[in-house]
Amino acid sequence: MNIILLGPPGAGKGTQARILVDGRDMIQLSTGDMLRAARTSGTAMGKMVAAVMDRGDLVTDEIVIGLIEEQLDGDQKGGFIFDGFPRTLGQADALADLLERKGQKLDAVIAMEVNDDELVSRITARSTCSNCGEGYNDLSKPIPADGICTNCGQAAEFKRRADDNEESLKQRLMEYYKKTSPLIGYYHAKGQLKWVPGLGEIDEVADGIAAVLG
Ligand code: AMP
Kindly give the distance from the C-alpha atom of residue 89 to the centroid of ligand 1, in angstroms, as a whole number. Answer: 14
Residues 3-8 have a mean pLDDT of 97
Containing 189, the helix (H) or strand (E) segment is: helix 182-189
Active site residues: 13, 87, 126, 161, 172
Question: In what helix (H) or strand (E) does residue 211 lie, and over which residues does it extend?
Answer: helix 202-213
Q: DSSP for 101-134?
A: HTT----EEEEEE--HHHHHHHHHHEEEETTT--
CA–centroid distance for 55 within its chain = 18
φ, ψ of residue 4 in degrees (nearest 5): -110, 135
Q: Helix, strand or coil for residue 147?
A: coil
- The 10s digit of each residue's pLDDT in 140-189 is 899 999 999 999 999 999 999 989 988 899 999 999 999 999 999 999 99
CA angle (139 as vertex; 134, 140 as ends), nearest 5: 55
Q: Contact 143/127 with Cβ under 8 angstroms?
A: yes
Instruction: Tell me: pLDDT of 200 over 90.
Output: no
Tell me what pLDDT residue 118 has: 84
Give the model's pLDDT for residue 67.
95
Q: Which of 4, 59, 124 is the pocket-test mutation for ligand 1 (most atoms within 8 Å of CB)? A: 59
Q: Does the pLDDT at position 75 exceed 90?
A: no
Mean pLDDT of 65-86: 93
Of 17-21, 172-176, 197-201, which gets the smallest average pLDDT?
A: 197-201
Residue of the nearest CA to atom 10 in ligand 1? 56
In angstroms, rounded to a whole number, what is the distance separating the alpha carbons of residues 212 and 214? 6
**pLDDT-based confidence at 52, cuts 50/70/90?**
very high
Distances (CA, A) of 79 to 10, 73, 76, 202: 24, 12, 5, 22
Give the strands of the sheet with 27-30, arranged side by side.
27-30, 80-83, 3-6, 108-113, 193-197
pLDDT band at 54 (very low <50, low <70, confident <90, very high): very high
Q: Which atom of ligand 1 is nearest to the CA of 53?
A: 12
- What is the rounded CA–CA span in Å between residue 104 and residue 45? 29
pLDDT in the model for residue 144: 95
- Centre of ligand 1 to C-alpha 146, Å, is 32
Considering only residues 200 and 8, tell me which one the structure prediction assigns the higher pLDDT: 8
Which runs of consecutive H residues, i.e. helices, occur in 3-147? 13-24, 31-40, 44-55, 61-72, 89-101, 116-125
- Ligand 1 atom nearest 56 alpha carbon: 10
Share of the chain above pLDDT 70, in %: 100
Question: Pocket residues for ligand 1 (CB within 6 Å)?
Answer: 9, 31-32, 35, 52-53, 56-59, 64, 84-85, 87, 91, 163, 172
Q: Which of 6, 31, 171 to mutate to test the pocket of ligand 1 (most atoms within 8 A of CB)?
A: 31
pLDDT, the chain, mean: 94
Ligand 1, pocket-test mutation among 53, 70, 181, most atoms within 8 A of CB:
53
Q: What's the confidence (pLDDT) of residue 87?
A: 98
Q: Whole-angstrom Cα distance, residue 118 to residue 169?
A: 13
Atom of ligand 1 nearest to the CA of 168: 10
Beta bridge mates, 195 = 111
Q: Which of 108, 103, 116, 132 is nearest to 177 (CA)?
A: 116
